[in-house]
C-alpha cells in the first residue's frame, strides 16, 4: 500500500472496506505514536505496562470505533489515532498512578488530578528521571535540564504546543487539529510559545 497518502485517500481506503487497511495505516503511524507515548510515558508505569501494550489497546479501540470515525471524520486519521492513543495513556496513568500512588504525587508537588488531561504533565514527570542520565555531555545536559524546567514553568498551552511541534514532530496542521484551533492560530500560538520560552530562559551565548 502506498504510504504517506493524503487524508482523503486514507479515508477512502478505509471506506472501501479493505480489511487490512486500518492495520497497515496504523502500522504506518506506529513510530510516531510510539514516540508520543515515549515522551509522555509516566516512568512509574515502567514494569507494569509498556508502549507496546498501549499501542495494542489503542489499535483495538481504533478498530472498534473506526466506523464512527468514518461516518464523521472531524480530524485527520493520524490525529484521531493519536487522540485514542493519548486517551489510553491517560486512562492507564490514571489507573495506576492516580489510584495507587497519590502519596507519590504529593511528593512531586504536581497536581495530577487537576492536570489530568494535560499531556505535558507527563513530560514534566520525566524530569526527575533525566537527573540520572549519565553525564557524558554534562554541559549540554545541564542546558537541556534547564530547558526542561523552564518548559515546565510555562503555561500548559505553551508547553503543549512546543512539545507537539518539536518532540512529537507534528506539523502545524496536525497541531491545529489536536488543539482544535485553526491553522493560523496554531502558527501564532507556536511563535508565542517560543517567545515565552525564550524570555523564561535566556539562551547562553
Partner 1 sequence: MIDAPHDRDPLDVLADEFAARCRRGESPSPAEYAALHPEHARQIEDLFPAVALMEQLRMQEHARHESAQNAAIRTPPQQVGDFRMVREIGRGGMGVVYEAEQCSLRRRVAVKILPGHVPLPAQRLKRFQREAQTAARLLHTNIVPVFGVGQQEELHYYVMPLIRAVGLDEVIRALRRDPEKRAAGIRTLAAALIEAKFGTQSERDRGTEAQGDTGTEPHRHTGAGRGERSEPQRTTRWSDVAAVGLQAAEALDYAHRQGTLHRDVKPSNLLLDGEGMLCVADFGLASAVDQADAGRSGEVVGTPRYMAPEQLAGRADIRSDVYCLGATLYELLTLRAVADCGEMPGGASDRQSAREPLRPRKIDPAVPPDLETILLKCLAYDPSKRYPSAAELAADLRRFLEDKPIHARRTSGLERAWRWCRRNPALAGVSTVAVLLLIAVATTVTGGYLHVRKAYTETARALDRAEATSQVSLDVLDAIYRQLSPERVWIASDSGTGAEPCRCVALAGGLHMPVPPSEETAALLASLLDIYDRLAEQGGHDFHLMLESAIAARRVGDIQQRLGRLHEAETQYARAIRQLDTLRQRPEANVRIPTELAHTYNEIGAVRAAKLELKEAYQSHQQASALLRAMEQAGPLPEACRYELARTLYFLSNLGLSPNDQGTTGRPRVERETFVVQQSARRLRSSAVAILEELARERPDIADYRFLLALCYRPSAVAYNPAGNSGRLRAIQILENLKEHYPAVADYRYELMATYAWVPVALFPWQGRFPLSAVAEEGLRKALEESEWLVARHPAVPQYACSRALLLAKLGMACWGRQRLTEAEHFFQKALETQEKVTTEFPGLPSRNRVLVQFMRLRLGQICRERGRPENDRDTLDRACQTLQACNEDLGKLTASPDLAEDRLAESLLPVAREAMRDALAACKGDKPAETAEQ
Binding interface with partner 1 (CB under 8 A): 6-7, 17-24, 26-27, 30, 34-35, 38-39, 47-50, 52-53, 55-57, 59-61, 63-64, 66-67, 76, 88, 91-92, 95-96, 130, 133, 140-141, 143-144, 147-148, 162, 165-167, 169, 171-174, 182-184, 187-188, 190-191, 194-195, 197-198, 201, 203
* Distance of closest approach, residue 165 Cβ to partner 1, in angstroms: 8
Output the CA–CA distances (angstroms, integers) from residue 18 to 54, 56, 60, 160, in the order listed: 25, 20, 17, 36
Q: In terms of CB distance, is 12 or 56 closer to partner 1?
A: 56
Under 8 Å between Cβ of 147 and 162: no
Cα–Cα distance for residue pair 15/38, rounded to 1 Å: 31
Q: How many CB atoms lie within 10 A of CB 79?
A: 22
- Give least dist CB 11 to partner 1, A: 14
Nearer to partner 1, 167 or 179 (CB): 167
How is residue 185 written as a grid cell? 492560530
Residue identified by cell 498512578 is 97
- Least distance from partner 1 to the Cβ atom of residue 137, Å: 9
203, with CB counted inside 10 A (0-12, 13-18, 19+), is: exposed
- Distance, in Å, from the CA atom of 137 to the CA atom of 16, rounded to the nearest integer, reads 52
Residue closer to partner 1 (CB basis): 125 or 197: 197
Amino acid at each position: 500500500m502506498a504510504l504517506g497518502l493524503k487524508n482523503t485517500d486514507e479515508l477512502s481506503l478505509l471506506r472501501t472496506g479493505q480489511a487490512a487497511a486500518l492495520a497497515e495505516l496504523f502500522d504506518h503511524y506506529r513510530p510516531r505514536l510510539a514516540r508520543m507515548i515515549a515522551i509522555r510515558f509516566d516512568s512509574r508505569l515502567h514494569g507494569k505496562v509498556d508502549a507496546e501494550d498501549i499501542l495494542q489497546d489503542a489499535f483495538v479501540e481504533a478498530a472498534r470505533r473506526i466506523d464512527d470515525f468514518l461516518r464523521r471524520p472531524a480530524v485527520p486519521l493520524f490525529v484521531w489515532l493519536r487522540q485514542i492513543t493519548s486517551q489510553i495513556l491517560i486512562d492507564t496513568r490514571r489507573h495506576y498512578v492516580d489510584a495507587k500512588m497519590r502519596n507519590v504525587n504529593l511528593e512531586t508537588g504536581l497536581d495530577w488530578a487537576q492536570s489530568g488531561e494535560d499531556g505535558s504533565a507527563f513530560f514534566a514527570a520525566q524530569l526527575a528521571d533525566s537527573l540520572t542520565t549519565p553525564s557524558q555531555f554534562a554541559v549540554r545536559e545541564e542546558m537541556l535540564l534547564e530547558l526542561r524546567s523552564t518548559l515546565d514553568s510555562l503555561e500548559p498551552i505553551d508547553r503543549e504546543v512546543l512539545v507537539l511541534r518539536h518532540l512529537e514532530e507534528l506539523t502545524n496542521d496536525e497541531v491545529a487539529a489536536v488543539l482544535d484551533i485553526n491553522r493560523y492560530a496554531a502558527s501564532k500560538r507556536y511563535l508565542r510559545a517560543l517567545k515565552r520560552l525564550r524570555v523564561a530562559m535566556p539562551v547562553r551565548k
